[in-house]
Amino acid sequence: MILIVDDDPAVTTLLRMSFELEGHVVVTAASGAEALELARQIHPAAMVVDIMMPEMDGLELVRRLRASDVTADIPIVCCSARALADDVEAGLAAGADDYVTKPFDPLAVVSRVAQTVHLRVVK
């Protein structure tokens, strides 16, 4: 199960369709708080997290996920329009396993998530 977290319904729909085409079950959240609760309940195989969201941004969500024993091991790929090197570094420093910049090829995101999950399992 993949948890997609983005406050933009168009992005959420695009990613959901791409993952479902590859046979994944997808759950979505439109906010960091909603995603945090869902992650604790369903413990997804991986998460795709937008950075720029109101109230709790993606960086704070990633930090909170990593700080909890229940969710610390979930592979996380950040996906954001923030594309400067400092932005990518901030995402990785917060605990993300990978960082994809928008605009993106949705199938490339699916591939990056698969690689991240595989690398986490191997570690």
**Could you write out the DSSP letters of every residue in 43-91?**
--SEEEEES--SSS-HHHHHHHHHHSTTTTTS-EEEEES--SHHHHHHH
In the chain, what are the domain boundaries? 2-122
pLDDT at 102: 86
Going 108 to 97 to 76 to 43, the CA torsion angle's sign is positive
Tell which CATH classification among 3.90.1010.10, 3.40.140.10, 3.30.565.10, 3.40.50.2300 matches the domain 2-122. Answer: 3.40.50.2300
Q: Kindly give the confidence (pLDDT) of every residue in the chain, 123 residues in length, as a single tens digit, with 9 standing for 90 and above.
A: 999 999 999 999 999 999 999 999 999 999 999 999 999 999 999 999 999 998 899 999 999 999 999 999 999 999 988 888 999 999 999 999 999 998 888 889 999 999 998 766 554
Q: How many residues does the chain have?
A: 123
The model's pTM is: 0.92
